[in-house]
């Protein structure tokens, strides 16, 4: 069972740092930023836990996104996670961008001839170009954990928004990621997870909210029989 805080809005550095440190003190496993991989890499310099970035997919070229992810993962010492948010009105564009991104992050030399993308581009005025390209530099992690928000993709696990009475099913090698409101209770999350691994990201807008959520959820989620008296100490 994993517990993340966020996605945190990109406010002032001092406010963001205070919120991040409060979340770590409250026993969250990961801090998520509603911003690019570079922002997550910055926060990783302040805290020792994993960091997540929310990346819009379908707007920017997936090779550019892959490079940003790789550099950020190297910068934070292999602690990066990514939530991909479809941001194009054409599902075909999003799907193709996902496929190229997944191929690039795999470390393989790739060649792609699609409806919307061509890799390598092999434009006439480029002169001699290779037939295949590989991402350089590569991420530090062999596989950067990545989820797709409210969508099913063969290459990535799914992320969903919390709904009352939801249940989590095992669909990939990664646990399903669920974005939850700050008011959610540990008993609800445990019921949703059942016997499956789960990753819950809890909304928090202030250091006090992060501390309160962590105090209420961390113990019961990791140790369901955690005694009430221990939380009151």
pLDDT greater than 80 at residue 178: yes
Contact residues for 12 (Cβ-Cβ < 8 A; gap 6+): none
DSSP 32-78: EESS-HHHHHHHHTT-SSEEEEEEEESSS-HHHHHHHHHHHHHHTTS
Across 5-11, average pLDDT: 89
Burial of 49 (C-beta count, 10 Å sphere; 0-12/13-18/19+): middle
pLDDT at 229: 59
Give pTM, 2 decimals.
0.85
What confidence score (pLDDT) does residue 157 get? 85
CA distance 54 to 162: 17
Which domains occur in the chain, in start order? 2-231 (3.20.20.30)
Contact 13, 204 (CB under 8 A): no
Residue 231 has pLDDT above 60, yes or no: no
What are phi and psi for residue 196, nearest 5 degrees? -95, 155
pLDDT tens for each residue of 109-155: 777 676 777 776 665 555 666 666 677 788 999 989 999 998 666 56
pLDDT (average), residues 173-182? 88
What pLDDT is attached to residue 126?
59
Q: What was the pLDDT predicted at 50?
A: 96
CA distance 27 to 180: 17
**Cβ neighbours around 2 below 10 Å, total:** 17
Q: What is the pLDDT of residues 29-49, one digit of tens each?
A: 999 999 999 999 999 999 999
């Amino acid at each position: 069972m994993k517990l993340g805080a966020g996605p945190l809005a990109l406010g002032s550095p001092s406010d963001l740092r205070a919120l991040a440190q409060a979340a770590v003190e409250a026993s969250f496993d990961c801090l998520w930023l509603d911003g690019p991989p570079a922002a997550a890499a910055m926060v990783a310099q302040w805290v020792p836990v994993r960091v997540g970035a929310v990346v819009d997919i379908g707007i920017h070229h997936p090779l550019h996104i892959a490079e940003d992810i790789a550099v950020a993962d190297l910068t934070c010492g292999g602690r990066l996670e990514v939530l991909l948010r479809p941001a194009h009105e054409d599902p075909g564009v999003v799907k193709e961008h996902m496929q190229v991104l997944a191929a690039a992050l795999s470390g393989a030399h790739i060649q792609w001839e699609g409806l919307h993308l061509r890799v390598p581009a092999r434009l006439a005025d480029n002169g001699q170009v290779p037939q295949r390209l590989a991402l350089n530099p590569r991420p530090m992690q062999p596989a950067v954990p990545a989820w797709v928000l409210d969508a099913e993709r063969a290459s990535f696990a799914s992320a969903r928004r919390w709904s009352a009475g939801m249940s989590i099913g095992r669909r990939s090698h990664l646990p399903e990621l669920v974005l939850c409101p700050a008011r959610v209770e540990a008993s609800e999350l445990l019921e949703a997870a059942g016997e499956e691994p789960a990753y819950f990201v809890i909304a928090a807008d202030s250091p006090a909210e992060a501390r309160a959520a962590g105090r209420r959820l961390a113990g019961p989620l990791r140790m369901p029989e955690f005694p009430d008296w221990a939380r009151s100490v």
